[in-house]
Amino acid sequence: MPKKESIFHYFEHIFGISMPFYVDKILYEKEKYQTHVYVEYNKALTFTSSCCKEEGCQIKSAHPRTWRALDIVNNQTYIHINLPSVKCKKCGKTQDIDVPWARKASNFTLEYEQKMVAYAESMSMSANSKTLEESD
């Protein structure tokens, strides 16, 4: 396997980017300490609608979306995709598809949200234990 492919697979693995999505390009902005991961998919594919979970819905349009992912060694990391909207075969609504790495309407990846929740919980626990004068 060529080196370039293995690093792309690594990014897919750590960010939960799974088929039919794949990492197409990784840009590193040295001055900004930012890593940008660009995700692609086969435009000929059909997708499952997010409303009725109906399979085989065709892409109607696409628009750029970005999610903040967990930092990679202190580099802010962002996932980008031209997110497809599909027309639901069941109800007729046109909606963005769901992606495996983030909740609907969230601008953060699932792991990023989990870490923020864990951080908030540990902060409040240490604040609480201070108030109660107990060690955590």
Query: Which residues sit at the interface with Zn ion, rule CB under 5 A?
Result: 49, 51-52, 88, 90-91
Query: Cα 92 from chain centroid?
Result: 26
Residue 121: CB minimum distance to Zn ion, A: 36
For Zn ion, give the closer residue by CB, 89 or 115.
89
For Zn ion, give the closer residue by CB, 91 or 123.
91
- Phi/psi at 11 (5° precision): -65, -40
**For residue 1, what are its two tokens?**
């396997």
Residue 92: CB minimum distance to Zn ion, A: 7
DSSP state of 57: B
Q: Reduce the DSSP state of residue 50 to 3 states and report it.
A: coil
Q: Reduce the DSSP state of residue 46 to 3 states and report it.
A: coil
For Zn ion, give the closer residue by CB, 46 or 76.
46
Residue 63: CB minimum distance to Zn ion, A: 19
